[in-house]
Amino acid sequence: MTGYRVAVVGATGAVGREVLEILAARRFPTARLRALASPRSAGTRVGDLVVEAVAPAAFDDIDIAIFDTPDDVAETWVPVAAARGALVIDNSAAFRMTPDVPLVIPEVNPAALRRVPRRIIANPNCTVATITVPLAPLHRAAGLRRLIACSYQSVSGAGQAGVTQLWAELRDAVDTGVAPTQARGTAFRQPIAMNVIPAVGSFRGAHTSEEVKMAAELRKMLDAPEVAFGVTCVRVPTLRAHGVAVHAEFSTPLDPAHARALLGAAPGVDVVDDPAAARYPTPLAASGGDPCHVGRIRTDGAGMLAFFAVADNLRKGAALNTVQIAEAVVRDGVLLGARAT
């Protein structure tokens, strides 16, 4: 069987584990699969795989390396992997805005995969992925001009520490019968159980890193540098899947019926929009699934097209999209053709 030699870097993390599961579930053609992580995880197991410490030689004879690591780890190791000949798909923010690195959602801008001079492809931020999938077909039809988005982001976006903190605080709350009074973890400085925190990531002046990423990455993927984009990112006490309320203005007016038709035909989108039957997107319903759920499609009182979108931040926002990029690369054949074993 023809297959590719694949390495998953950061294989012991939540997204890394999800990548391994999705590769198997979608029967990605792997000739060999290598799980890499920091030296302290070396020797542990992830499923059937024994974890190896990341090292330059680990990328020899690797066709595709999927990275899910902190930005600083990616900055060090992604160029090493690419120099050793691997095609890198990187889920960190380290290279997303680098001009020679395409930032790709296969349903949105597959053509960007035609030019990968550094052999690095970036995977977008999980929150911006949630809105870019539905906005792309609307933008192509009507020209996105102005956008306000407010997010409802799950704690798993802050990694396992976020999940652990939420559960610890919820156990306390249930035990004591009152809302938490102090943070019980390291992910968030305020309690997140029974609370919302209007700050995701670190601050860049008055904006958060998450807000800065969303605007920059959306503009890059839609090739729409002029879009005016106001965003507020907020952490909420959900485990998984990010919701985003979107209010958007287009160059050509776009009515809800037209938007619904475009979204109904868009790859990667499930329209979940029957308010009378209490059908609208929620994080619990979108968790564990592939598509971006879109509902509450309407013209708002300011004349903008509004909708609510939810996607699983560990899947479409991360692991699933990296595997879909790998699938697109394999289908195309150009970047890897000579190397398939």
Tell me the catalytic residues: 126, 242
Contact characters 238-277, its own copies, x per CB under 8 A = xxx--x-x-x--------x------------------xx-
Q: Helices marked H in 84-208 — which ranges?
A: 126-142, 160-176
Contact flag: residue 190 with its own copies (CB under 8 A): yes
Q: How far is the CB of 316 from its own copies (least distance, A)?
A: 17
Decide if residue 237 touches its own copies (CB under 8 A).
Answer: yes
Find, among 132, 123, 44, 136, the residue nearest to 89 by Cα. Answer: 123
Residues 6+ apart with CB under 8 A from 20: 8, 11, 33, 35, 46, 47, 49
Question: Should residue 152 be labelled a site residue for its own copies when binding is judged by CB under 8 A?
Answer: yes
Q: Which residues of 224-248 are buried (b: 16+ CB within 10 A; e: fewer)?
A: beebebebbbbbbbbebbbbbbbbb
Selected binder of its own copies within 203, 255, 267, 334 (CB under 8 A): 203
Six token digits for residue 131: 């809105």
- Minimum distance from residue 157 beta carbon to its own copies (Å): 14
236 binds its own copies, rule: CB under 8 A: yes
What is the nearest approach in angstroms of its own copies to the Cβ of residue 318?
Answer: 19
Tokens representing 84 are 């050793």
Q: Which is nearer to its own copies, 185 or 237 (CB)?
A: 237
**Using CB under 8 A, which residues numbered 288 to 307 contact its own copies?**
295-304, 306
Closest CA to 65 of 10, 27, 129, 17: 10
Q: Which residue type, as a one-letter code, is found at position 39? A: P
Q: Which one among 281, 312, 321, 323 touches its own copies, defined by CB under 8 A?
A: 281
Amino acid (one-letter) located at 323: V
Q: How far is the CB of 319 from its own copies (least distance, A)?
A: 19
Is the Cβ–Cβ distance between 108 and 221 less than 8 Å?
yes
- Scan residues 155-174 and list those touching its own copies (CB under 8 A): 167, 170-171, 173-174
Three-state DSSP class for residue 102:
coil
**Gap between the Cα atoms of 187 and 198, Å rounded:** 14
Residue 147 in contact with its own copies, rule: CB under 8 A:
yes
Among 36, 46, 122, 148, binds its own copies (CB under 8 A): 148
191 belongs to the binding site for its own copies (CB under 8 A) = yes
| Strands 144-152 and 228-232, bridge-based pairing | parallel
Residues in touch with its own copies (CB under 8 A): 146-148, 150, 152, 167, 170-171, 173-174, 177, 179-181, 189-191, 194-199, 203, 206-208, 211, 215, 228-232, 234, 236-240, 243, 245, 247, 256, 275-276, 278, 280-285, 287, 295-304, 306, 308
